[in-house]
Structure 1
Amino acid sequence: MDATFADRSRNELGDFLRSRRERLTPRAAGLPAGRRRRTPGLRREEVAELAGIGVDWYIRLEQGRSVSPSVTTVDALARALRLSKVEHAHLRALTRNPGRRAFVRESVPEAIRRVVESLNQPAYVTGRRWDVLVWNKAAEEVFAFSRLPEEDRNILIIILTKPATRRVFGVGWNEQARRVVAQFRATHDLWADDPAFVELLARLHRESPEFTTWWKAHDIRAAVSGRKQMTHPKKGLLRFEHASFQASDDPALRLIIYTPV
């Protein structure tokens, strides 16, 4: 792996630790508030003490320097920083993130393609970078993927940079957009060194001011089922329950199905 790309990957780990440290108050961590603090959250030495590790060693982690913490240390940091289960899993993934081949846009097996096309409700398949790879007729009627150029067939691009999508979600757009940013962050941090992800991130920063603000928060969310409400320009008010499923053929592929409510 190129040294520059490796540094970028380690920086995601440091940025994640710093963001969690700065959001945690002394009171929440079980520490006395003490004197007035010039910076938000805990100090580095407080996190190190709570986790039972050396201050210099923790600083190296936050600075993105080449350090490989053990599983025990990672778990201790998760407890010290009061991480959620999703955040804890993300920290573990970041610390064991191996070198990889360059990202290549996925191919969808014919069997999965036929399943998607056979469904009556809207369904589509996305890849690791959240590119929309395959969709059925019902999804086309709602999302009109075929009208977009291939480079725009990406869930983040569609939600964050397309004015039409903002109109469709109305007052619910903000919550939907923040949710996908936090979900994508969990994948991005493991591929932060890859040119395809670097390019996508640069475009989102360039075309979506909200994205830049939310990205700095470094929020992490798991992909979960839920409900969406949209006002379609032709179909009017639409309400769906949605769920996603990981493909056994390729874990990077996710099938998303919308069921009308």
Structure 2
Amino acid sequence: MHRDGIDGTGDTRHALGDFLRARRGRVAPEDVGLTGGGRRRVRGLRREELAQLAGISVDYYVRLEQGRATQPSPEVLDALARALGLDVAERKHLATLAGSGHGPAPKVRVSPLLRRLLEAAGSLPAFVTNHRLDVVAWNDLGSVLMGGLAEPGRRAPNEALYLFLDPASRALFPEWEDRAVEAVGQLRVSAGRYPDDVELTALITELSSLSAEFRRIWSTGEVVMCARGRKRLRHPAAGLLTLDYETLHVPAAPGESGLEMHVFSAEEGSQEAAVLARLASPAAAGEVLAPSGG
């Protein structure tokens, strides 16, 4: 059932229950020492099974899922997290959903220092996103690598809209499904943290109404927090590039949204490092690079 947004987004009474329901659905009874027990109407654990594993009453757990109990104790949250096998990011999200006293949606501001850092990155592609996955700043190489951010009208300035509504994103990201799951997981974290952000709620509602793939991934209850790793991107001239990335978290001033600066790099002496250096060179404008594969 859709309420304000999708699956309780923008509805703090139901967001906690929706998340618990989604996580409950992914736990196989056999994985926690329970028998499957014949035909089951739902995937994963039954409500009474999860309540038993967490050491709480079935009635209380049902009230949590239905939004009639909204502020469980830290002990209950810890027991539920253990029973569901939540990872660190999911535990933090669960605690956020169970919190109270949410304030207004934060403002977004890119400081002059952050802009100088982007330009100083030189041959390292970099761009900055807010909690809605709006790309709010970038350097020249970051724009080129991420599908033409600096070119008005070429692509949506929001990463989630670009991924789910623009077919060009599948050419840019060979592992499109992984990137899509990351985006949905990040939006879910933000929805729990900023339930009063009407722009965020509108974004998730739009994606839900226009993309069946977004609805599919959202229904899993996936939670993702960006950190570091390796990604493959396809440049139209240079071909397929395998790059390391690091997510730098920019602290927020009171009333503002914290930002994330995503920086890509390549191992020194590698073919990718040479390609990035050439792309960053002023002489690269209009130059056709030899593809690196893919």
Query: Normalising by the residue count of structure 1, what TM-score does the alignment of the two structures yield?
Result: 0.88
Confirm or deny that 1:258 pairs with 2:254: no
On the 8 A contact 2:48/2:58 being kept in 1, the answer is yes
Deviates more, 1:143-152 or 1:54-63: 143-152
How many residues align? The count is: 256
Deviates more, 1:110-119 or 1:83-92: 83-92
One-letter amino acid of the counterpart of residue 151, structure 2: R
- SS of 2:263 mapped into structure 1: strand
- What CA distance in whole angstroms lies between the structure 2 residues aligned with 1:149 and 1:100? 34
- SS of 1:243 mapped into structure 2: strand
Deviates more, 1:132-141 or 1:201-210: 201-210
Aligned-pair Cα RMSD in Å: 2.3
Confirm or deny that 1:112 pairs with 2:118: no
Gaps of 5+ in 2: 267-271, 273-294
The percent identity for this pair of structures is 36
Cα offset, 1:97, TM superposition: 4.5
Quick one: structure 1 residues 89 and 249, their matched pair in 2 at CA, closer, same or farther if it must change by over 3 Å?
A: closer
Quick one: structure 1 residues 174 and 126, their matched pair in 2 at CA, closer, same or farther if it must change by over 3 Å?
A: same
Aligned 1:179-258 pairs, distance under 5 A? 179-250=182-253, 252-258=258-264
Partner residue in 2 for 1:166:
170
- What CA distance in whole angstroms lies between the structure 1 residues aligned with 2:115 and 2:154? 18
Query: Greater helix share, 1 or 2?
Result: 1
- What CA distance in whole angstroms lies between the structure 2 residues aligned with 1:95 and 1:163? 37
- What CA distance in whole angstroms lies between the structure 2 residues aligned with 1:160 and 1:201? 11
Cα offset, 1:168, TM superposition: 1.9
Gaps of 5+ in 1: none
On the 8 A contact 1:7/1:64 being kept in 2, the answer is no
Cα offset, 1:70, TM superposition: 0.6
TM-superposition CA deviations, 1:165-190 (whole Å, max 9, x none): 212224x2222222222233222233
Aligned 1:1-261 pairs, distance under 5 A? 8-104=11-107, 106-120=108-122, 121-143=124-146, 144-148=148-152, 152-170=156-174, 172-250=175-253, 252-260=258-266, 261=272
Deviates more, 1:4-13 or 1:117-126: 4-13
On the 8 A contact 2:47/2:62 being kept in 1, the answer is yes
On the 8 A contact 1:90/1:186 being kept in 2, the answer is yes
Quick one: structure 1 residues 235 and 207, their matched pair in 2 at CA, closer, same or farther if it must change by over 3 Å?
A: farther
One-letter amino acid of the counterpart of residue 120, structure 2: S
Q: Which has the larger radius of gyration?
A: 2
Quick one: structure 1 residues 90 and 192, their matched pair in 2 at CA, closer, same or farther if it must change by over 3 Å?
A: same
Query: Normalising by the residue count of structure 2, what TM-score does the alignment of the two structures yield?
Result: 0.79
- What CA distance in whole angstroms lies between the structure 2 residues aligned with 1:218 and 1:151? 27
On the 8 A contact 1:181/1:214 being kept in 2, the answer is yes
- What CA distance in whole angstroms lies between the structure 2 residues aligned with 1:228 and 1:27? 34
- SS of 2:173 mapped into structure 1: helix
- What CA distance in whole angstroms lies between the structure 1 residues aligned with 2:36 and 2:241? 49
